[in-house]
Amino acid sequence: MDSISRLLRMARLGARVDRRCLLGGATRMDVAAPAEREAPFHVLLEGECTFQVGKTVLDLRAGDIVIVPGGRPHRVTTPGRGRKRGIESAPGEVLIGTRSAGDAGPPVIDLFCGHYTFDTGAGRLLFRSLPDPVHVSFGQSAESDEVLRMLSALMRREAEREGEGTAAILASLSTVLLAMVLRTSRGEATKATLWTAAADERIAEAVEAMLHEPGESWTIERLSRAARMSRATFLRHFTRHTGTTVGAFLARARLMAAADLLASTDATVGTVAARVGYQSESAFSRAFKAELGVTPARFRRANIGGPGS
């Protein structure tokens, strides 16, 4: 199994499209913080708008996708003069169709809004490791343009149809979008590094190796030799393409694998610690609690038998 597929499986990922927003000009839509372990996402199908989360302001164009891994409240604003108008929402069977207030004129953007859910272990670690927000444009190549058009057409058709299976279809398409985001290398529209898509093939191979075999003795010397780089060059390139250090990345990979094993197998805590590369159960327990806030044993009691196990 490839690394991105493995990451999404370990995260116990869920996805849902909550609403389709057809907003007129000079409209402001404030989105509240979601529930715990939810990451909002937005797909702009048509038009242009401004997206703000915290102090970060992004200019979105058709084909852009934004994910808010930290689940922070955010705002979508459409262009237009005058006082910004509010919106009205009406519940639907599967979606909530959101349109601008009556005096805002015809829609100037077509926006899908949804959220991803993830577990308290590997999923939390994965989303915490991503830039916040993640902003990717699929308008950078003919191939990605074609994929986006196909996904957009399917999502629109299902949103308008709201028939049997619509929720499942939209959830699956949203998962496809996330997989595409995670494998998209840093580009003009991506303001921060996505470690899941290191542009340097040698660094990508090192990332894949550590994710695939987290229990191996991955020294910097071993990784740099495999990458055919000097130690200093490897460290510099790794940080540049992943946004983190080798040590921090390896620790994250080991804890994600450990959380998955604790939730999906009956292996003892000591066995799990050894399988993911820790020399002692106590060192593993300290690292696990420091990162996830609970001991491995308590995490297992809360998660064993959950989705994906």
Q: Are residues 12 and 147 in the same domain?
A: yes
DSSP 22-82: EEESSBEEEE----TTEEEEEEEEESEEEEEETTEEEEEETTEEEE-TT---EEEE---SS
Which residues face 77 on adjacent strands?
A: 28, 50
C-alpha torsion angle, residues 170, 49, 147, 9 (rounded to 10): -50
Separation between Cα atoms, residue 114 and residue 31, nearest integer Å: 11
C-beta of residue 154 within 8 angstroms of C-beta of residue 90: no
pLDDT tens digit at each of 309 positions of the chain: 789 999 999 999 999 998 888 888 888 999 999 999 999 999 998 899 999 999 999 999 988 899 999 999 999 999 987 777 776 655 555 566 677 655 557 889 989 999 999 999 999 999 999 999 999 876 555 566 677 677 777 888 887 777 788 888 889 999 998 998 888 765 444 456 789 988 899 999 999 999 999 999 999 999 999 999 999 999 999 999 999 999 999 999 999 999 999 999 999 999 999 999 999 999 999 999 999 999 999 999 998 754 443
Tell me the residue range of the domain where 290 lies: 198-303
**Model pLDDT, residue 137:** 77
The Cα-based distances of 303 to 70, 259, 284, 294 in angstroms read: 22, 9, 18, 12
Is 233 domain-assigned? yes
Helix axis angle for 201-212 and 246-264, nearest 10°, is: 40
Separation between Cα atoms, residue 56 and residue 52, nearest integer Å: 6
Q: Which of 66, 234, 34, 184 is nearest to 134 (CA)?
A: 66
Q: Which helix (H) or strand (E) holds 109?
A: strand 107-117
Backbone angles phi, psi at 123, to 5 degrees: -65, -45
Q: Are residues 131 and 24 in the same domain?
A: yes
**Model pLDDT, residue 86:** 73
Q: Are residues 168 and 253 in the same domain?
A: no
Which residues face 56 on adjacent strands?
A: 53
Is 132 domain-assigned? yes
Q: Are residues 135 and 271 in the same domain?
A: no
Q: Are residues 46 and 118 in the same domain?
A: yes
Domain boundary among 182, 213, 238: 182
Positive or negative: CA dihedral 143, 67, 247, 13: negative
The SS3 assignment for 110 reads: strand
Q: Are residues 127 and 251 in the same domain?
A: no
Is 16 domain-assigned? yes
Amino acid letter, 87: I
Domain boundary among 120, 147, 182: 182
CATH of the domain at 108: 2.60.120.10
Is 187 domain-assigned? no
Separation between Cα atoms, residue 4 and residue 178, nearest integer Å: 10
Across the beta sheet with 14-24, what order do the strands follow? 87-91, 96-100, 14-24, 107-117, 38-46, 64-67, 134-137
Is 193 domain-assigned? no
Q: Which of 203, 199, 197, 182 is nearest to 246 (CA)?
A: 203
Q: Are residues 80 and 8 in the same domain?
A: yes
**Model pLDDT, residue 103:** 57
**Model pLDDT, residue 34:** 92
* Tokens 């849902």, residue located: 16
Q: Are residues 176 and 208 in the same domain?
A: no
Q: Which helix (H) or strand (E) holds 20?
A: strand 14-24
Q: Which helix (H) or strand (E) holds 9?
A: helix 3-10
Domain count within the chain: 2
Q: Are residues 96 and 50 in the same domain?
A: yes
C-beta of residue 29 within 8 angstroms of C-beta of residue 75: yes
Domain boundary among 148, 182, 216: 182
Strands (E), 249-292: none
C-alpha torsion angle, residues 54, 59, 65, 71 (rounded to 10): 10
**Model pLDDT, residue 159:** 77
